Amino acid sequence: MSPQVLYVVGAVVALALIVEMVRRRTLREKYAVLWTAVGVVVLVVGLAPGLLTAAADLLGVEVPANLLFFVASLTLLLVSVQQSAELGRLEERTRTLAERCAELGAEVRRLQDDAPGADDRRRRGTDPGP
Amino acid sequence: MPALTPRDVPAREGGRAADVLVVVPAWNEAAALPATLAEIRAGVPDADVVVVDDGSTDGTARAARDAGATVLELPFNLGVGGAVRAGYRYALRRGYAVAVQVDADGQHDPADVPRLVAALDSADVVVGARFADRRDFETSRTRRSAMVVLAAVVSRIAGTRLTDTTSGFKAVGPRALAFYAANFPAEYLGDTVEALVIGARAGLVVTQVPVQMRPRRAGAPSQRPWRAGLYLGRAVVALVMALVRRRVPAGEVAFP
């Protein structure tokens, strides 16, 4: 079996997975585009191995597969760095929301306490609380 | 949202009764909190108090409310940095001029708060520095040497002599309050070392006032001697991060 078959099968499986995940709305558009592009590149390399060899020759890489590994690792590295940044941004937003939520909770309680009849409700035990 | 400065946020009816807000970050401190709050009220009767319940599971919020404090209840644990920033944001929105951070466990003597606030006349950030009297404050030697090294580096950056850069006992004036409400670090040790470094680099004037440390009232200390090495490592990371990050000048801040 030629390794090209493996590439093609791998790429088709990956692309099918991406499409299905987009359909189920578990993958946002921006990530779907990225991974589809990666899948298409793998598919092209699988269908036309000459491209890889030509690119390797052009760049002076003796073993074409090494070029593939290099590009693949670099792509994955960049993607995970981007995701780390995204995660950090999300953590910061979560933190801000948590703080705001706490602030508003305190505000609601103060308004409840100031509202007319608050003492009566508390005495009767019908104060809904926070 | 545009930048908020204390000037833009007028004091509201029923919201603010004082110029000074004492911010008490509390994580599972229900046992120690009532006594600490009583002391704060005795030590600084003119100040308002807000307890930031940092996702506690032991009824800290209830204990604080029963003791008459306003409580900001965070829905999950954010760490000291998150809790303090929540307190600072509350202070800024309510128009307080000064916020003072006091630990819930009773290590900080609220009687020192007026001295910290008084020192804000000539500074933006005042640190209550321990080790003024080392006999009553127990730390391992490794940890203490780590703190000495940290203090030396941060002092250089801040352009003033600081002997205790990991103290959580701090007072901030209006300029620092606006800056930190937008830029208070959430990372481990971010609330101490990193906060001082980014503040100093932003042009805030930092100074210190010696204070006595007291033993914790309840609960386990959050730092153990054998962790000194790890602590130093993380402190260095916090320091390097603070120095590498792009400088944000105070006064050009906005927070969402």
Of residues B85 and B164, more confidence is placed in B85
Confidence of residue B252 (pLDDT cuts 50, 70, 90): low
Q: Which residues in chain A have their CB less than 8 angstroms from residue B70's CB?
A: 106, 110
> What is the pLDDT at residue B138?
54
Distance from CA of B254 to the nearest CA of A (A): 13
Whether A127 shows a pLDDT value over 70: the answer reads no
Whether B12 shows a pLDDT value over 50: the answer reads no
The dihedral over CA atoms of B226, B231, B232, B236, expressed in degrees to the nearest 10, equals 170
Query: Out of B70, B78, B90, whose CB is closest to A98?
Result: B78
Mean pLDDT of chain A: 85
Q: Which residues in chain B have their CB less than 8 angstroms from residue A98's CB?
A: 74-76, 78, 82, 86
> What is the pLDDT at residue B217?
64
Confidence of residue A49 (pLDDT cuts 50, 70, 90): confident
B72 and A96 in contact by Cβ < 8 A?
A: no
> What is the pLDDT at residue B2?
42
Question: Is ipTM beyond 0.85?
Answer: no
The pTM score is 0.78
> What is the pLDDT at residue B14?
42
Confidence of residue B86 (pLDDT cuts 50, 70, 90): very high
Q: Which residues in chain B have their CB less than 8 angstroms from residue A96's CB?
A: 256
Query: To probe the interface with B, which of A90, A94, A99 has the most B CB atoms within 10 Å?
Result: A99
Kindly give the pairing relationship between strand B170-172 and strand B125-129. Answer: antiparallel
Whether A129 shows a pLDDT value over 60: the answer reads no
B78 and A96 in contact by Cβ < 8 A?
A: no
Query: Out of B70, B75, B90, whose CB is closest to A98?
Result: B75
Whether A43 shows a pLDDT value over 50: the answer reads yes
B90 and A95 in contact by Cβ < 8 A?
A: no
What's the whole-number mean pLDDT along residues B30-42?
93
Q: Which residues in chain A have their CB less than 8 angstroms from residue B71's CB?
A: 106, 109
Q: How many CB pairs under 8 A join A and B?
A: 48
Question: Which A-chain residues 72-101 have CB contacts (< 8 A) with chain B?
Answer: 91-92, 95-96, 98-99, 101
> What is the pLDDT at residue B10?
44
Q: Supply the Cα-derived Rg of chain A in whole angstroms.
A: 28
Over residues B115-160, the pLDDT tens digits come to 999 999 999 999 999 764 444 455 566 667 777 888 888 899 899 9
Of residues A14 and B234, more confidence is placed in A14
Q: Which residues in chain B have their CB less than 8 angstroms from residue A91's CB?
A: 186
Over residues A98-122, the pLDDT tens digits come to 999 999 999 999 898 888 776 665 5
Whether A61 shows a pLDDT value over 70: the answer reads yes
